[in-house]
Structures are given as structure tokens and as C-alpha cells.
Structure 1
Amino acid sequence: MITLSERTFRTAIYLDQLNKRVRVDDYSGSLLDVLDKAEQFAEEEKADKLIIRGRREHFTQLLQRGYRYEASIDGYFLGSDCLFFSKFLSDERKACPHWTEEDGIIKNVYHLAEPSKTITPPKEYALKKMDESDAHALSELYSTVFQIYPTPLNNPEYIVKTMQEGTIYYGFVFNGQVVSAASAEVNHFYKNAELTDCATLKEHRKHGLMKILLVQLEQELIQHGIFCAYSIARALSFGMNAVLYQLGYSYRGRLVNNVYIYDKMENMNVWVKDLANTPNIGQ
């Protein structure tokens, strides 16, 4: 992350070489000067996608500069909405061969029945708040589930670093092995959290473990005064999108060719939830 402070603006820009993109995570002052700087970085990095987490009041300015609206997060900036705008710097990055299939997944998710209010896994599964001693077991889980992941979760040292920076992990342990896990990456300044790093070994996916983990993370966020929760799920994953829908999250758009995940570059769906107003399953 690069933090810049110049006469007309302040900004935080992430140079994501792994995913061939540049992302503007925050800014104040002159939006146009921020965009000029971000586009300069994108050219230098040979990125093929430029993303900005913009403010709703800058919608028209971003359109005028050639950016395309993709998704939003309600209340991300201390109650003000975040809008994802992107500029594609190659035709290949903009192409979407699975778009209609992903539309079908969202349509089918909306036809799911309401889940029961209580979810109880078999007694062999132990729910645990993960700590640094679990980093190696977590890295093994992520390495098994994902061939490719946009962050180095296959590295225990990276997981420890995220924990020290405030990311919360919960998991289920079965016969001494972590078989399912998820995390909440908390932004204490803007009072929001991304529920992410969701993974369950295939043979353990029939017990609703992920729903329980996400509810547990939500409860901890509420205790810390964090009420804006969001998650960014693989658009091709019916299961993960279904989990978020049934937990009361609302679909807010799709990020095109956003990251390398699972086994290729994929589109990602954005889901949001106001933890202050939405009842939680299992409570």
C-alpha cells in the first residue's frame, strides 16, 4: 500500500502485481488529481485493471473520466456508500465468457427457501476462534481448497501478520484438523468489515459450517461496534452466494475479472449487510 500526501489530495493506493491491477482504496481532496496519479501507477505497473473505491457524490465525475460502475457497499465510509468504479486497460481483461452463467446463479440463489433459524453441526465439529498457533493449520486448509488465491494464505507467517493487524478468524476443527474457516478483515477507521477467506474442505460441506462461522464473526463485529459487513464471493460459486443470501446479505453488483482465485481470473459478486438491522440466523 502506498500512501501519498500532496498539496491537492491525500490517497492510499494498492499496487497489486499478483492480480495485475491498481486499486485506490481511499482518497480526499481533488479526485481528478488522484485519478491522474492512479493512472500513472497503472501505466508504470503495466496493470490491466484500475479500480477505485469511490464516493457516491463522485458518481458523475468518475463516469466522465471513462470509469465503469461495477458494484457498491452500503455505509462503507462511516455510513456513506462506497462505489466500485473500474477502468479496463486491455480488451482481454474486460472479456466475460461466464457472465450469463453467473447471472443464472444469482437468479437461482433468489429462489432458495428461507433457512431454518438454528443450525447445529455434528458434535464432532468444534467451533474455535483461531489464534497464531492455528496459522499453520489454516494455511493447510487454504492450500487444499484453493489452487490460486489473491493473497498468500498458504503462508502461515502471512496469516499471523493479518491476525496481528486485527483480522479475526474462526474455524471448525474435526479430528484435530481445521476443516472450515472464515475471517473478518476489520477497518476500524471507517467502521466496516469484509467477511472473507471462506473455505471448507469438500467432504465437510454438507453441515452448514460456513453459515455458523459467518454468524459468529458477525456477533463479534457487533460487539466491537462494527455494523457495515460485506463479502466478495466468486460469481461462479453457487454455494457461497447462496450462503450469503440466506444469511440476509443483499447483492450489490459484480466486479469483472477482479482477482486470480480458485484456478483462474474470476468475476466476484459483492454482498452487503447492515448488522444493526438484520436478524442473524442461529440467534
Structure 2
Amino acid sequence: MSPDTVTTIGGTLVQHGRLSDRIYVMHLSPADLPEILDDLDALSQKEGYSKIFAKVPASALPLFISRGYVVEARVPGFFRGREDGYFAAKFFDAERRRESGDVAAVLAAVREKAGDAHPAALPPGWTCAPAAEDDADDLAALYGEVFATYPFPIGDPGYLRETMAGDYRYFLVRTEDGRLAAASSAEIYREDENVEMTDFAVHPDFRGKSLSGFLLLRMEEEMRAAGMKTAFTIARALSYPINAVFARAGYAWGGTLVNNTNICGGFESMNVWSRPLER
């Protein structure tokens, strides 16, 4: 099945498609309110999607609630470090709204690690650096190996090069002999002054070396220098390792997006974690 499509409705950036059977409002243009809500409903009904979820500023939340949305997660200071943001969802299928995994058990386990980040160090001779266009083939191969399905076409070198030219910054860890061991990306929302820490992948040969934690710290340094106010992630809710990375780094859990994303071969719920980057 092909990846979902990213497009605009008015000035609002959305992703939608069959793969994740949903509409994702990635960036809401306030100028599109309230008409955008009718447009989203119409698109959902036309395509038969079972969920809409949207990143919504606190000032617009009552309008979404009045139209049948529920709050799944909250991020303090999400917009320019001043206004809270909410992940609001509207379900069109009761089964989609039913959580099937034990997310609470994962959260309880990772909270025991909260704030327990140890200074990570790479093995001798290894490097960590921002990716360049020449790295796209290696990066796509790593993502293709780690993720059976993914909501964005990160297994396509062309897509990676296209996003590198925009507001994505990929970071790579390579071994002393140049093998790509791990990668991640920072998806920058300049207008909102926030950044999504995402696309973490560690090659199976190199797991257990805290490479995701190292990448996260490196990205935080870069994004703080770039003026971003808030960092967040949308992490697989039943994956202990990635949730532990963010808990250890001092991120706060903001909520769970139920049956939200087709990733690693099936639908999964996703945890929202965030932290302010300003010191």
C-alpha cells in the first residue's frame, strides 16, 4: 500500500490516506477556521476514514470539542513556547477508539527511568553528524530494514532528499568503518517554534548501545541553537525502548493517541512526550 499523501487545504497542512486510514492535521492555519472543520469532515466521509487527529492551539480547542473531537494529548507551550497545544481526535468507528494493548504497563515501566539519562558516548572511532544528500541511499536502506510500514515514505531516497531540502534535519551515527548504525530526524515547525524528534532507527547489529539517546541529545543541542522552544515526539506506545529514551531524557508524557498510526506492519497507538528546550 502506498504511503499517505501530504497536501494543503487552504493554508492548513494535512496528511491523509489509506495506509493509516486517517487525516492528520499537521499544521492548522487559524485563518481557515471554522470552515476547515467542514472540509475535514467532508474529506473523511468521501474517503471513508475512521479517524481525524489534529494539532490544535488551546485558543481553538473549544471549537474542535464542539464538533465532536476529544483530547488525546496535551503539550505545554507547544506554540512558540507560550500557548499550550492539544492533539484532538475525532473517531468515525468505535473499534478504532478501543485500545488493544497495555500502554499503562509500558508507561509504568519507563517512568521508573524518568530523568535517569546518563551521558552517552559513542564507541571509539564512531561519528555522529547531520546527514547530507549523499547519505540518502544509506538512510533509506536503514529505514526500509527497520520499519515494515511507516506513515511517511522514509524508505525512498528521493523523499529523504526532498525533506532534507526543507525543514527536516537527519542525524546519522556511523561506525569506525562507515556503516550506518543509527539515525533520527528533527522535523522543524518554524512558525510554531517547535520540533518533532522522530524517525529513530537503530540497525539490529548495533542495538543496546544507547544510540537513540545519543542522537536525541545531539538533536536537542542543534534545535536549541536554532531557536526552537519545545521538543516533542509521537512514539510507538507499546515500544519500551523508545519510550524509555524520552523518559530518561526528562520528557513528560502528554497522552496516548489511540490506534493512530500504521507502523511496523500494523496499527499502533502512539505516546506523546515533550519538554521545553529553553534553559
TM-score using structure 2 length? 0.91
C-alpha spacing 1:206/1:44, structure 2 compared with 1 (3 Å): same
Instruction: Determine if the alignment matches structure 1 residue 89 to structure 2 residue 58.
Output: no
AA partner of residue 45 (structure 2): E
> In structure 2, which of residues 74, 77, 84 is the aligned counterpart of residue 75 of structure 1?
77
Q: Is the 8 A contact 1:27 1:34 kept in 2?
A: no
- 1:1-283 to structure 2, matched below 5 A, reads 1-5=6-10, 11-24=12-25, 25-29=27-31, 31-78=33-80, 79-98=82-101, 101-112=102-113, 114-115=115-116, 117-174=118-175, 175-277=177-279
Distance 1:252 1:159 in 2: 29
- 2:3 aligned residue: none
Is the 1:2–1:14 contact (alpha carbons within 8 Å) kept by the matching residues of 2? yes
Would you say the 8 A contact 2:115–2:250 is kept in 1? no
State the 4+ residue runs in structure 1 displaced beyond 4 angstroms.
none
For 1:51-99, what per-residue CA distance to the aligned partner results, in whole angstroms no more than 9, with x for missing partners?
122221333333332211101222222221111111111223222211x
Amino acid at match of 1:109: V
Identical pairs, percent: 31
Instruction: Report Cα offsets for 1:107-138 as digits up to 9, x if no partner.
Output: 11111265354221211422222111000000
Other structure's SS at 1:73 match: strand
**Amino acid of the structure 2 residue aligned with 1:273:** R
- State the secondary structure of the residue aligned to 2:213: helix
Are the aligned partners of 2:103 and 2:238 in contact in 1 as well (CA < 8 Å)? yes
Measure the CA separation in 2 of the matches of 1:13 and 1:117: 37
Shift of 1:17: 3.6
- Against the structure 1 CA distance between its residues 169 and 45, is the aligned structure 2 distance closer, same or farther, given a 3 Å change threshold? same
What do the CA deviations read for 1:206-251 (whole angstroms, capped 9, x no partner)?
1111111111111111111112110110001101000001111110
Relative to structure 1, the CA distance from residue 115 to residue 152 in structure 2 (aligned partners, 3 Å threshold; closer, same or farther) is same
Task: Output the aligned Cα RMSD.
Answer: 1.8
Highest RCO, 1 vs 2 (Cα 8 Å, sep ≥ 6): 2
Q: C-alpha offsets along residues 145-198 of structure 1, whole Å, 9 cap, x if unaligned?
A: 111111111111111011001211111112322110001011111111100000
Tell me if structure 2 keeps the 8 A contact 1:16–1:23: no
The normalised TM-score by structure 1 is 0.90
Q: 2 CA distance for matches of 1:64 and 1:200?
A: 42
